Amino acid sequence: MRLTRRTILTGLLASAAGGALAEAPATSLRPRARAVDFFKRALPTGDDLVARAGLGAGKVAYVVADATTGEVLESRAPLLPQPPASTAKALTALYHLDRLGPDHRFSTRLLATGPVVNGRIDGDLILAGGGDPTLDTDGLARLASQLKDAGVREVAGNLRIWTGALPNLHEIDVEQPDHVGYNPAVGGLNLNFNRVHFGWERKGGDYQVSMDARSATRIPGVAMARMQVVDRSGPVYTYARGEARDDWTVARGALGSNGSRWLPVRFPGLYAGEVFQTLARSNGLMIGGPVLRADAPEGDELAQVDSAESRVILEDMLEYSTNLTAEIMGLSASKSDGDVETLAGSAARMNEWLKSEMGLRSVALEDHSGLGDDSRITASDMCRAMVASGPDGALRPLMKPFRTDDTTIQVAAKTGTLNFVSALTGFIGSDDGRRPLAFAVFCSDIDRRDALSMAERERPAGGRAWAGRARTLQRALIAHWNTWYRT
């Protein structure tokens, strides 16, 4: 049942006495009792809050509903398609949980194509990825240690990598700057969220630079990603894709005295292979020659490391909003129904699932992370997904708390941010006996976003202030809904 939004009166109720009476009244004249929701009527409406937000020509859409029954309590432009930004990750979490379950794990294995004789593999050693989005350098170190413990000391052939567990994609979104670490390659063998650490330090009149695959305990250098400092005013970074290498340049004047940042990796399988080879050698294992590709994950298993369960990975994904994790969780869910070759194809499969299983009507996502700004969903559909998942379902415990000015309001939500796009979806209320609410809020200024050049997209002028106003509006709407509808 869809209800129209209540009209909030701004005037004060009063009663006026009539003319002077010749005689005393038979009963005492008392003020008329105020309506139960009188105090609410003096509060600003949702439209008032939107007007006060000062988002310029931007559009705001929202829906709030009873999280148990789905009854819509208030809405604004509920059918306006908007970019979901990272709130799309909440939908990806639901999709993955349905297709693969909360206990699914990803495995990374070492396979020998020949027998092990006197500590020597008479064949190749294959590093076979299982799509783990959380594999890091420490995980590869554990594999190397297991290989050593198994008595292997030498590999007669080559180290090979197998990346075919998932499609190999050069990047998530083609409309992002080359150097942003949140837009890496995606594949079946991933390492350190497919990012390489670039560090620099001024030495006299020049710079000493490093490219490494650092983790909590190790800092192995890498050669497949190279950086050159050049004299130019701009751009700050350039990227060139080699045959099996990432070639970067950076403008000297942009570096300052010292610093570091993470850059995306475009050959994640080769990156993982090179780092594993370094770690194996540090364990006394002789593995020479170049890292080559394997056609299939065939051979005797010698070592294996597993990821955490999906529920843990998804919780971290929603908290830290890691795009690589979202794409892999979505791709792996899609592949459970058959091979998928592209990110768009996988997203289309998820869209159909959202329609058939969650009751969404016009969702059109182009990826699983929300990074691509051509994705669209209505506030009505996003709120419908929250209701379908349920206030006591598997999604809500994975969402992080969202802070409002009123600390008594319990909110579990997923945020989403792109340049001049701010989104929020989730649940209001806890186990306190009052009505739980599901909601979705989308704020966007698409014209302003589309006008940005590639160079402006990392830190656009006015972007931070606009996002701050959007978040202020979202907090105000939550307080408004908590007051009006949590009976």
Domains and CATH numbers, the chain: 38-102+309-485 (3.40.710.10), 122-307 (no CATH)
C-alpha–C-alpha distance, residues 222 and 247, integer Å: 12
CA-wise closest residue to 104 among 260, 309, 300? 309
pLDDT band at 87 (very low <50, low <70, confident <90, very high): very high
Angle separating helix axes 46-53 and 463-485, nearest 10 degrees: 170
Predicted local confidence at residue 38, as pLDDT: 54
Model confidence pLDDT, tens digit, residues 145-190:
999 999 999 999 999 999 999 999 999 999 999 999 999 999 999 9
HEC letters along the chain: CECCCCCCCCCCCCCCCCCCCCCCCCCCCCCCCCCCCHHHHCCCCHHHHHHHHCCCCCEEEEEEEECCCCCEEEEECCCCCECCHHHHHHHHHHHHHHHHCCCCCCEEEEEECCCEECCEECCCEEEECCCCCCCCHHHHHHHHHHHHHCCCCEECCCEEEECCCCCCECCCCCCCCCCCCCCCCECCCCCHHHEEEEEEEEECCEEEEEEECCCCCCCCECCCEEEEEECCCCCCEEEEECCCCEEEEEEHHHCCCEEEEEEECCCHHHHHHHHHHHHHHHCCCECCCCCEECCCCCCEEEEEEECCCHHHHHHHHHHHCCHHHHHHHHHHHHHCCCCCCCHHHHHHHHHHHHHHHHCCCCCECCCCCCCCCCCEECHHHHHHHHHHHCCCCCCHHHCEECCCCCCCCCEEEEEEEECCEEEEEEEECCCCCCCCEEEEEEEECHHHHHCCCHHHCCCCCCHHHHHHHHHHHHHHHHHHHHHHHCC
Quick check: 11 pLDDT over 50?
no
**Inter-residue contact 136 to 316 (CB < 8 Å):** no
Is the per-residue pLDDT at 20 higher than 60? Answer: no
Mean residue pLDDT of the chain comes to: 91
**Residue 116 confidence (pLDDT) above 90:** yes
pLDDT at 43: 80
Residues 371-376: what's their mean pLDDT? 95
For residue 39, is pLDDT > 60? Answer: no
Segment among 23-32, 318-327, 334-343, 391-400 with least mean pLDDT = 23-32
- Residues 193-210: pLDDT tens digits? 999 999 999 998 899 999
Instruction: Determine if residue 252 is left, alpha or beta; phi over 0 gives left, psi from -120 to 50 gives alpha, anything else beta.
Output: alpha
User: 88 and 424 in contact (C-beta within 8 Å)?
Assistant: no
Cβ neighbours, 10 Å, residue 188:
25
Q: Which residue from 129, 122, 107 is spatially nearest to 152, judged by alpha carbons?
A: 122
Assign 446 a pLDDT band (cuts: 50, 70, 90).
Answer: very high
pLDDT of residue 432: 76
Residues 320, 324, 325, 326, CA torsion sign: positive
| Model pLDDT, residue 487 | 73
* Beta-bridge partners for 443: 60, 422
Tell me, what's the pLDDT at 288?
Answer: 84
pLDDT of 161: 98
Could you give the CA distance from residue 43 to residue 484 in angstroms, rounded to a whole number?
10
Each residue's pLDDT tens digit, 275-323: 999 999 999 999 989 999 999 999 999 999 999 999 999 999 999 999 9
Rounded average pLDDT over 24-40: 49
Mean pLDDT confidence for 364-375: 97
Q: What CA–CA distance (Å, rounded) separates 481 from 74? A: 8
Q: List pLDDT tens digits, range 401-442.
A: 999 988 889 999 999 999 999 999 999 997 778 899 999 999
Residue 405 confidence (pLDDT): 86
Residue 167: C-alpha distances to residues 180, 348, 406 (Å): 21, 15, 45
pLDDT(10) > 60:
no
The residue-averaged pLDDT of 332-337 equals 96
- 24 pLDDT more than 70: no
* Better pLDDT: 44 or 14: 44
- What amino acid is encoded at 475 in this protein? R
Q: What are the tokens at 485?
A: 């509808």
pLDDT beyond 90 at 100: yes
In angstroms, how far is the first alpha carbon of the chain from the final one?
18
186 within 8 A of 172, measured Cβ to Cβ: yes
Separation in Å, CA 239 to CA 93, 235, 334: 33, 11, 31
> Is the pLDDT confidence value at 134 over 70?
yes
pLDDT at res. 36? 52
Dihedral angle, C-alpha 28, 34, 35, 41, nearest 10 °: 160
**What is the percentage of the chain residues whose pLDDT exceeds 70?**
91
pLDDT band at 21 (very low <50, low <70, confident <90, very high): very low
* 18 vs 309, more confident: 309
Residue 40 confidence (pLDDT): 63
What pLDDT sits at residue 9? Answer: 20
In this prediction, residues 241-263 reach a mean pLDDT of: 95
Burial class (CB in 10 A: 0-12, 13-18, 19+), 446: middle
Q: Which pLDDT score, from 0 to 100, does residue 458 have? A: 84
Whether the pLDDT of residue 27 is over 50: the answer is no
